[in-house]
Amino acid sequence: MQVFATSKATALGGALNQLTCLFPKSRQAVRIMKLTTIFLLAACLQLSAKGVSQTVSITVKDAPLLTVLKEIKKQTGYFYLADNEWLQKAKNVTISAVNWPLAKVLDECFKGQPLTYNIEGKVINIVPREEKGKTVSVVNDVPPIDVRGRVVNENGEPIQGVTVAVKRKNKSTITDANGLFRIKDLDESDILMFTHVGRESLEMGLAGKSELLITLKTRISSLDEVKIIGYGTTTQRLATGNVERVSSELIGQQIITNPLQALEGQVAGLQITQANGLPGAPINVQIRGQNSIAASNNPLYVIDGVPFTSTPIEILGGPNGNGSSILGSPMNSISPADIESIEILKDADATAIYGSRGSNGVILITTKRNKSGKSKFDFNINKGVGRVTVLPQMLNTEQYLQVRKDAFINSNLTPTVSNAPDLKSWDTTDYTNWQQWYLGGKATLMDVTASYSGGSDQTTFLLGGSYHDESTILPGSTDYKRGSGHLFLGHTSKNKKIDLATNIFYVADKNLLSGTVNGELIDIVRSIPNYPTYNNSDMLNWTGSQTNRIAELLSYSKRRTDNFNSNVTLKYTIFPGFNVKTNLGYNKIEVVQINGFPSTSKNPTTNPTGSSQFANQYIKTYLFEPQVAYNANVGGGSLDILLGATLQNNETNGQFIYMSNYTNDLLIESLNYGSVLFTGGNTTQYKYSSEFGRLTYNYKNRYLINGNVRRDGSSRFGPSKQFGNFGSIGAAWLFSDENFMKNALRWITYGKLRGSYGTAGNDGISDYGYLSLYTNTTNYGTTTAIVPSQIANPNYQWEVNKKLELALEIGLFNERILLTSSWYRNRSNNQLVGYSLPSITGFATYTANLPAVVQNSGYEFELSTINIKKKDISWTTSLNLSIPKNKLLDFPNISATSYANTYVVGKPLSIIQRYHFVGVDPQTGMTVIDDVNQDGLYTSKSSFNSQGGDYVIAGKLTPDWFGGLNNKFSYKGIEVSILIQFMKQQGYNVYSYSGSAFGQLFNTYSSYLDYWKKPGSQANIPAPFATSNTSLTNFRNSDVGVSDASFLRLKNIYAAYNLPIKWLKSVKANSFQIFASGQNIYTWTRYKGYDPETSNNPTPMVPPIKSFMAGIKFSF
């Protein structure tokens, strides 16, 4: 009989005990599962317990060899493999060792024994002295034989799920959690094939052996890189869903403030758009298009398991909002340097485990951790500069004044000092290019990051910090600073049963901007080129009802954000393959804002006083997620079951105070010296609970099936509608592993067909919408009065997104060429909207489900190739392409809703409806519009949905296709990577920005110069007028303002030189790199405006900047 360290009786008893305790009423289950064998082997877990030391202290006198070996195992984690018979032949041992190396102890023990040993990984093979080699053949060679063995990796750790098949026989099994397997009734001549995902396959002849120890080497393939998914991990090879990973390497190469910016052009199906080029600007993120008409379209962000807010939390708005709707991205308060990877989950299979919040996709952010325990210090510093990418030309003074003169003629008015100060009282030779003054500056950038990681076999840690400092291109004192600290701590108990990991980070940033900007440029571009900034007495000039831009810079906005995120994961392994886990999370993000308006920034003729706005707001998130995971080999395949629950509690709390009447500008940041204009605040609580489960079955790494279910309860819904069920099913077939493929098409080394279908929901609406609420109002008589403020609607439910995906993944020539093509179709119905009510109900709107259906479908392609792979030189390419299609599939009775003028059934949600511009009347210079309804009038309403207007579909804001191309070269120590981003789309152009004011006391773009001058002249731009004129309003509201905004952009070039390792050895460094990077380097576009990236905004925005940086990075 073979002996594995502990008694099988104990093991079996223990295992059964565990089972009966766990499932007290289902002893049957034990029988059904027929796990006897598995648990028998499971007991051998003891074998694999990995020790901490490789020295042994032992003192025994005349003890059996077995006792010594057991002690060695206990102390070192090295287990042994031997035949019981042989061990019985062994002589007793006498030894007295104190901290001897293992080998010395073993040598001593085996001295004079009929046995000898060899060490393979962490296994001590014991063989008869005359035998050599790593395996043992059995003395008894009468067939059939039973073979048992163990499969380990290079470190001697067991590998679970290895398929062990007998060549040319229909016989196979897979290894268990201890890497053990057993196959009965084999012939001496049989050949065993060992295959496992992520490892190189191995064939081995039995040659009569019945005990095998197999080491499978890790296969280096991108297919087997670990990807994080909801409550688990997977690899591309084994995934049944659509999960994409962006690694820290790709994030680190770019010059970015917000980590989301690094994703631009990197992931198929993910569209990232910056609202403007200022630090802290909002970033619009859409995974596979707009699903919801009125509820949130933001994906769910999860940082180290803790859900993170996707909506801006500022009250005052924006970097300097003044109540503007342009708000900052909360993602800004995460340091890109702390991020290990970002995973994007797209289809039902990947997102359904997030149930009611997975409708818009999920973005998982994993912060850096340390796995190896090796001590390492990493340091990076870089500095850079940035400038604006592109500026459309403005009219100079001469051109501008000519327009004004013509405008007065067209309006039949005489310019006077009061209606035309620019012509009559200001110096007509003065010229300021306000746009250049405002956007022409140079931004500076600096980043310093450092981290120290280390630990031991059991405990690992990583301590990191980063500092980011960036000034903007704008005038005045504008600055963005961010500091972060990050701690990871991991611990595994000696017996490997307890696993603890904690990740804590803290980020503080400060955003200071001068002037009353919020990213919008319209006031700047309209500034008059000959406006006298200073008057004759050298004081700031305020005449002509113009804002003095220099004085305006004295106002400012300060915004500080603190973001604290922590999570603890505690895992206890009850027996191999069965563990319980708890995830505890806490996040608090808080914003404190002050907008200051000193009296000096205001027009002195109105006797202004200083004023300011104060606001703060925080969101606290508490999370508790217990989970149970079970893994077993069932029916020749591997079964994974995950059960878990979530309790989440979010508290939002905010206040604001507007103050005025400060007599001293120096004190406007104090609440003590002004008078209160008004105050406000809000408190909301969001509670969320759910239970979820996942079942994955993997048969021979060839057939995979994965099911998710989730039942969610959310406080955002009424008592009878709080709970909703979501689920998905995904399946994959690795056809390349089928014999017919292996024989016929050997060059297809990886082929997978996968599909998924399921539902995910959206609860992205405001809190308490279902409740009947009262609010305070003016007293009636002397009685406090309250009035209804919200009508109850307990009936609305989750928005449901039904997602379907089919994908084909092909790898050729050992995955040197890897192509993933996927098709998806997401249908979102039950749209949650602010539904218009007839006023007889007492209210104008309430939150309700609309039976409208929005469909997003499309194709996504990802191609990666290894073009050159030699010792010193390599070249890899990756390309992604998305072809999305958005469509409003159904919208019953749209004509009677408030959406009648916005949406058209059968068209994308992003359509822009405007007049169709026919041309300029050569006789009158007036705009000619297509009178769609032929009623002789221009009606600014939709011509669809029986609105009776003349608006037609002028274009749409969602791209036709987009993607990115990344090339990476390396030659010896030199690395270069080039990222190109491209997008085929439409957008708003310069004519959309300011057309209606053409000829008034506003400057405009030089593309207006081709305007109508006199009767009979052909022109593309209508005549200017000195006062507002419908011809120009119609022009601005026509499709002229919407045009092609496609672009091809050299997004990033990163070049680095790594010093040769031999140089580094002398200073004990691991690596030393000098690098340079450029961002938004060049853009090819025909777009008439600023940057095409901000073209989805009908007003001009501060464009993204082009920046360059250089730095050093080292590690020792």
Partner 1 sequence: MKENPTNKMKRKGSNNRLMAINQLLLLILLSVSILGCKKYVEVTSLSDKLLASQVFSTDASANSAVAGMYRLLRTNLYNGGSYTPAILTGLSSDELYNFFPSSVLDDYKNNNIQITNGSLPWSNLYKIIYSANAIIEGLEGSSSISQSSKNQFTGEAKFVRAFCYFYLINLFGDVPFLSSTEVTTNSTASRNLATQVYNQIINDLLDAQELLDNGYLNSGGERIRVNKAGAIALLARVYLYNQNWSNAELQASAVINSGLYVLLTNIDSFAIKNNNEAILQWANTSSEGNYEPTQFIFTTSPNILCSNSLLTSFESGDLRKTKWIKSGIYSGNTYYYPYKYKSNATANVNEYYTVLRLAEQYLIRAEALAKQNKINVAVADLNIIRQRAGLPSISVNISQDSCLNAIMHERQIELFAEGHRWFDLKRTGRINVVLGALKGNNWQTTDTLFPIPLSDIQKDPNLTQNQGY
If you write DSSP's letter for every residue of 148-205 in order, what string do you get? EEEEE-TTS-B-SS-EEEETTSS-EEE--TTSEEEEEEE-TT-EEEEE-TTB--EEEE
Kindly tell me which of 784 and 934 has the beta carbon lying closer to partner 1. 784
For 710, the enclosing helix (H) or strand (E) is: strand 703-714
Closest CA to 886 of 843, 826, 937, 952: 826
Kindly tell me which of 372 and 895 has the beta carbon lying closer to partner 1. 895
Strands 209-215 and 145-152: parallel
Kindly tell me which of 697 and 723 has the beta carbon lying closer to partner 1. 723
Rounded to a whole number of angstroms, the minimum distance from the CB of residue 690 to partner 1 is 7
Q: Cβ(335)–Cβ(507) under 8 Å?
A: yes
Rounded to a whole number of angstroms, the minimum distance from the CB of residue 192 to partner 1 is 29
Kindly tell me which of 218 and 655 has the beta carbon lying closer to partner 1. 655
What distances in angstroms separate CA 666 from CA 143, 597, 601, 809, one per listed residue?
97, 11, 13, 64
User: Does the CA dihedral 997-1000-1002-1003 come out positive or negative?
Assistant: positive
Kindly tell me which of 896 and 1061 has the beta carbon lying closer to partner 1. 896
Rounded to a whole number of angstroms, the minimum distance from the CB of residue 26 to partner 1 is 13
Rounded to a whole number of angstroms, the minimum distance from the CB of residue 737 to partner 1 is 37
Rounded to a whole number of angstroms, the minimum distance from the CB of residue 786 to partner 1 is 5
Q: Cβ(765)–Cβ(755) under 8 Å?
A: no
Q: Cβ(1045)–Cβ(1087) under 8 Å?
A: yes
Q: Cβ(508)–Cβ(561) under 8 Å?
A: yes
Rounded to a whole number of angstroms, the minimum distance from the CB of residue 563 to partner 1 is 24
Tokens for 326, please give them: 């342009």
Kindly tell me which of 710 and 1036 has the beta carbon lying closer to partner 1. 710
Cβ-based neighbour number of residue 787 at 10 Å: 10
The whole-angstrom separation of Cα 241 and Cα 806 is 9
Q: Cβ(95)–Cβ(59) under 8 Å?
A: yes
Rounded to a whole number of angstroms, the minimum distance from the CB of residue 785 to partner 1 is 4
- Name 575's Cβ contacts closer than 8 Å, sequence gap at least 6: 14, 15, 18, 39, 42, 45
Kindly tell me which of 400 and 575 has the beta carbon lying closer to partner 1. 575
Rounded to a whole number of angstroms, the minimum distance from the CB of residue 695 to partner 1 is 17
Rounded to a whole number of angstroms, the minimum distance from the CB of residue 769 to partner 1 is 11
Kindly tell me which of 188 and 651 has the beta carbon lying closer to partner 1. 651
CA 271 to chain centroid = 11
Rounded to a whole number of angstroms, the minimum distance from the CB of residue 723 to partner 1 is 8
Tokens for 463, please give them: 């301590």
Rounded to a whole number of angstroms, the minimum distance from the CB of residue 81 to partner 1 is 17
Rounded to a whole number of angstroms, the minimum distance from the CB of residue 37 to partner 1 is 18
Rounded to a whole number of angstroms, the minimum distance from the CB of residue 930 to partner 1 is 26
Q: Cβ(513)–Cβ(278) under 8 Å?
A: yes
Rounded to a whole number of angstroms, the minimum distance from the CB of residue 1053 to partner 1 is 50
Kindly tell me which of 452 and 768 has the beta carbon lying closer to partner 1. 768
Kindly tell me which of 8 and 984 has the beta carbon lying closer to partner 1. 8
The whole-angstrom separation of Cα 671 and Cα 614 is 9
The whole-angstrom separation of Cα 696 and Cα 756 is 13
Tokens for 88, please give them: 């019985």
Kindly tell me which of 456 and 683 has the beta carbon lying closer to partner 1. 683
Closest CA to 762 of 716, 809, 695: 716
Q: Which residues pair with 819 in a beta bridge?
A: 810, 863
If you write DSSP's letter for every residue of 1077-1099 in order, what string do you get? EEEEEEEEE--SSS-GGGTTSSS
The whole-angstrom separation of Cα 833 and Cα 894 is 13
Kindly tell me which of 11 and 337 has the beta carbon lying closer to partner 1. 11
The whole-angstrom separation of Cα 906 and Cα 894 is 12
Strand stretches in 335-442, DSSP E: 339-345, 362-367, 376-388
Kindly tell me which of 468 and 694 has the beta carbon lying closer to partner 1. 694
- Name 535's Cβ contacts closer than 8 Å, sequence gap at least 6: 541, 543
Q: Which residues pair with 483 in a beta bridge?
A: 467, 508
The whole-angstrom separation of Cα 161 and Cα 176 is 6
Kindly tell me which of 248 and 897 has the beta carbon lying closer to partner 1. 897
Rounded to a whole number of angstroms, the minimum distance from the CB of residue 6 to partner 1 is 9
Rounded to a whole number of angstroms, the minimum distance from the CB of residue 46 to partner 1 is 11
Strand stretches in 772-908, DSSP E: 773-780, 783-790, 799-812, 817-829, 831-836, 845-850, 853-869, 873-890
Kindly tell me which of 637 and 769 has the beta carbon lying closer to partner 1. 769
Rounded to a whole number of angstroms, the minimum distance from the CB of residue 125 to partner 1 is 21
Using the structure block, give the residue that is written with the tokens 């878990």.
644
Kindly tell me which of 29 and 792 has the beta carbon lying closer to partner 1. 792
- Residues 563-576, buried b or exposed e (16+ Cβ, 10 A)? bbbbbbbbbebebb
Q: Cβ(723)–Cβ(711) under 8 Å?
A: yes
What distances in angstroms separate CA 958 from CA 286, 983, 986, 1030, 1039, one per listed residue?
11, 10, 8, 30, 16
End-to-end CA distance of the chain: 51
Rounded to a whole number of angstroms, the minimum distance from the CB of residue 799 to partner 1 is 17
